[in-house]
Structure 1
């Protein structure tokens, strides 16, 4: 019993005739008959009533027809999703840092979807460390990250430059430098922006009053607005999430004030039409900068 047996069964049910089904499938009639008999032997029941005008499904055949239709639909869907075609289609799995997903991805994805509506985009948000692992393990096709490790398996495209800002409810600057009585609000470990902030604190000799870990951008912005501490985020994020200027935006004075955002993907990954067109779009963004 194989999938072609179900295709033959489905066609006989549609045509109500073994001979007409054979013509539709370009098989000899005996071949179709053998496939039907194989199914009947497997299920130990009669699937068709045979009569002078052709065939009619038995109650058992009616039940099996439902499953045969589903199997054929899945077969056709798998061909559409897996088969390489010049026209982008199927699923494109990518990842992004939460900050990039919030302020950079909407425009990129909207423009891409406008041109390639047949592509279903699945976007995951994680920190840079986790996203890099997912790309290396083939779990996603590419990701927007803030730090590109020197791995020979990875290809990278620098897409943006993010200017880092300190965000606070009150001024974090005093006449003699930065206040040390501040709590700092950060993403969880694995976030490259957190790593840069920690390096800056060390270079300034600042010992934070407290480190608050949150796993959402909304949560971090909300806590800063509530006066619970200081955070460091890209200027684009600060301007979008604090459009009414409730917070003080202070440029980070550090060698990593400007941090590139890369799109990374495996060099040996299957370059579907969907991924190729997405990469083309990113190269255009890079050129236009």
Structure 2
């Protein structure tokens, strides 16, 4: 049973016979008759009683015509939706934790104000997890730090992040070879900020003795403030932390302190919902919470 058969069946019912239906459909009568018989065989029911040259709907035909009209109307609605560029339905968006915490609240608020017909679903994860979800069709797009595979995804610049190492305020330096921080606080493997901090240690010929994995930046900053270890994160994350005075920011050398966040989606799958989000990028610059001491790593 396909839509063409249902369309022919519906026309025969509305026109009251094969001849008038064939004229409306610009088909020969024999073709219409054949398609009706094929539909009856497919459903294993009789749709019409033939009384001479007249057709009368059978009980099964009365049941089918209601479904046929609804299915045809739904198919037409789907076609119109495909031709309609307005965002609608659900936007399934992924983001790394720092972007979700700091950058997305204002961005998604503006998106909702402009496109109230779109329901937004948000999932957080590291870039590898988000990329797999986009490829699997579980997400329409995601925001994550470079690098993102050009051959698989299309992408657009979203945010430029300045990275800093954060320690407790009592630690004047994190670069003293005789007093390197022994504990690093980070997200799970796959997080680009964790990788950057591991590379920072490696360049100094030192490895952290212990890595504490945490699930949120607020938890991470609380542990840093308590003196448990150091963390590397976007400076923008500090804008939402109320106890900045208990922290010290260690700015990285130029070239090591930059990270680009991009919006990416599966190549060839730029939907109207994703395009509407692209139109809102880049978002505003966020102020950094005052009160944290700052030094520069040589």
Query: Does the TM-score normalized on the shorter chain lie above 0.5?
Result: yes
Please give the root-mean-square deviation of Cα atoms over the aligned residues, in Å: 4.5
Contact kept, 8 Å, 2:143 with 2:261, in 1: the verdict is yes
2:239 paired with 1:239: yes
Matches within 5 A, 1:214-253: 214-217=214-217, 220=220, 224=224, 228-240=228-240, 242-245=241-244, 247-253=246-252
Match of 2:296 in 1: none
Distance 1:37 1:147, change over 3 A: same
Distance apart, 1:194 and its partner CA: 0.8
C-alpha separation in 1, matches of 2:195 and 2:130:
16
Match of 1:105 in 2: 104
Matches within 5 A, 1:185-224: 185-204=185-204, 206-217=206-217, 220=220, 224=224
Contact kept, 8 Å, 1:88 with 1:273, in 2: the verdict is yes
Matches within 5 A, 1:271-282: 271-282=270-281
Matches within 5 A, 1:163-202: 163-168=162-167, 171-173=170-172, 177=176, 180=180, 182-202=182-202
Match of 1:79 in 2: 79
Match of 1:269 in 2: 268
SS at 2:281 equivalent = helix
Distance apart, 1:18 and its partner CA: 4.7
Count of residues in Structure 1 that have an aligned counterpart in Structure 2? 281
Contact kept, 8 Å, 1:84 with 1:272, in 2: the verdict is no
Contact kept, 8 Å, 1:166 with 1:233, in 2: the verdict is yes
Match of 2:295 in 1: none
**Structure 2 unmatched ranges of 5 or more:** 286-298
Distance apart, 1:100 and its partner CA: 0.9
Distance 1:27 1:192, change over 3 A: same
Contact kept, 8 Å, 1:200 with 1:254, in 2: the verdict is no
Matches within 5 A, 1:34-49: 34-48=34-48
Distance 1:18 1:159, change over 3 A: same
Contact kept, 8 Å, 2:94 with 2:125, in 1: the verdict is yes
Encode CA deviations 1:121-143: one digit per residue, 9 max, x unaligned. 55443322344556678875543
Encode CA deviations 1:136-164: one digit per residue, 9 max, x unaligned. 78875543222225746665543322233
Distance 1:176 1:76, change over 3 A: closer
C-alpha separation in 2, matches of 1:21 and 1:103:
64
C-alpha separation in 1, matches of 2:41 and 2:175:
89
SS at 1:144 equivalent = strand
